[in-house]
Amino acid sequence: MQGARFDEVEVRRPDLRAPFPERFAARLVGQTVRALTRRGKYLLAALSSDETLLMHLGMSGWFHVERLERRVERRGERRGGLSADRQASAGLAATAPDPHDHVIFRMSSGATVRFNDPRRFGTMELLSPARLAAHPTLSLLGPEPLSEAFDAAALARACRGKKTSLKAALLDQRIVAGLGNIYASEALHVAGLSPRRRAAIIATPAGAPRDAARRLTAAIKQVLTEAVERAAGSDEYRDARFRVYDREGQRCPRRGCPGTIVRRTQAGRSTFSCPVCQR
């Protein structure tokens, strides 16, 4: 998409979690994507008109990219290796779109980009610079977890005085941007911290980082870095093997730990942890 123009925009189902912007397709066609970036779980396409196309995948959303130059695509994708069913659905797309393909972008580069989202929790917004800057969620996002700005001091400051649990704090996008339910559990396990402890325990009353803040910050960076490396080009969600997520009743993977993974509900979400090595 980057550097390419929207030649055709097909909205096949305009009612995602939020309704589509007025005249969404008409406003996109003819515009060029100046840059394609990410902030937290949001994707941003900066457009030639200075507007931004803001996209979120929700729970079940995904983008499928298909190019006209098939040979180029095959070579490019070999390293990651698409799963067999995804290749099959790619072949089908041209003739019989999936009923959950809600938006289709046809780009001047020859790429066709389909946004598919069975649960329709995803969103697409088209925002002026002013409305982008004032976006109620985006403007409040915390630091990028893999940036230098995210360190033990920043995490401790954000958690200072918080009565909520560590798990809930990690899911709060204002504290750190982009962690979801899986990697919140994973990071707490790596850090050896119980998801049920109060978030405030990682900071001194003055907001300075305790050792737990250092361990947690390092653990977040570690699990995300590993996940990105593993996920590049593959179906990460289905293929991934997690330390604790979705492993209730199994042995704790920490060397020498005799614990068994438990699942508990916190703030309406499943949390997985080892009650022996996470304190």
Interface with DNA (CB under 7 A): 17-18, 40-41, 56, 58-60, 99-100, 118-121, 123, 136-137, 162-165, 168, 171, 173, 180-182, 236-238, 263, 267-270
Alpha carbon distance 54, 138 (integer Å): 10
CB-nearer residue toward DNA: 119 or 230? 119
Shortest Cβ 92–DNA spacing (Å):
15
Q: What's 135-196 look like in SS3?
A: CCCHHHCCCCCCCCCCCHHHHHHHHCCCCCEHHHHHHCCCCCCCCCHHHHHHHHHHHCCCCC
Q: How far is the CB of 80 from DNA (least distance, A)?
A: 15
Chain centre to alpha carbon of residue 198: 25
CB 68 to DNA: min, Å: 28
* Amino acid making up residue 23: R
Dist CA 35 CA 6 (whole Å): 13
Nearer to DNA, 5 or 100 (CB): 100
- For DNA, which is the closer residue by CB, 38 or 74? 38
Q: Which residue's CB is nearer to DNA, number 17 or number 214?
A: 17
Nearer CB in complex with DNA: 205/268? 268
User: Which amino acid, one-letter code, is at 106?
Assistant: R
CB of 110 to DNA, least distance (A): 28
What is the C-alpha to C-alpha distance for residues 116 and 57, in angstroms, rounded to an integer?
A: 9
Beta pairing class for 101-107 and 112-116: antiparallel
d(CA 185, CA 278) in angstroms, rounded, equals 11
CB of 192 to DNA, least distance (A): 21
